[in-house]
Amino acid sequence: MPERAFAFRTLAISSNVLAARFVPAGHTAVAGAFLAFGTLGWVVLDYGIPLALITTLTRGPSLDQVNGTWFLWSVGSESVAVAGQAG
């Protein structure tokens, strides 16, 4: 479950990357829409994924679920910061 859930973070991350790219081009309304979508997705997934992991009743070996998609957690936070600074 975690690897699929973390993969959904790429939607929020890519939205924030697009927001940061549209600001220098002068498309601030489009950038604001992408930033709003990316930030909303980031907040929902940042609190939703840990909540789902904590409340699940079936437990497997915890280290078997850790892989590279967990790095998207920090990348998502950084994308919100960069997109927010660009706007």
- CA pair distance 62, 4, nearest whole angstrom: 16
With beta carbons less than 8 A apart as the criterion, state whether 71 and 9 touch. no
Span 6-52, pLDDT tens digits: 778 889 999 999 999 999 999 999 999 999 999 999 998 888 877 87
Residue 81: pLDDT band by 50, 70, 90 thresholds?
Answer: very high
Q: What's residue 86's pLDDT?
A: 82
Confidence at residue 60, expressed as pLDDT on a 0 to 100 scale:
64
Mean pLDDT of all residues in 78-82: 92
Q: Is 26 left (phi over 0), alpha (psi -120 to 50) or beta?
A: left
Q: Report if pTM > 0.85.
A: no
pLDDT for residue 61: 61
Residues spanned by the domain of 68: 2-86
Q: How many domains does the chain have?
A: 1
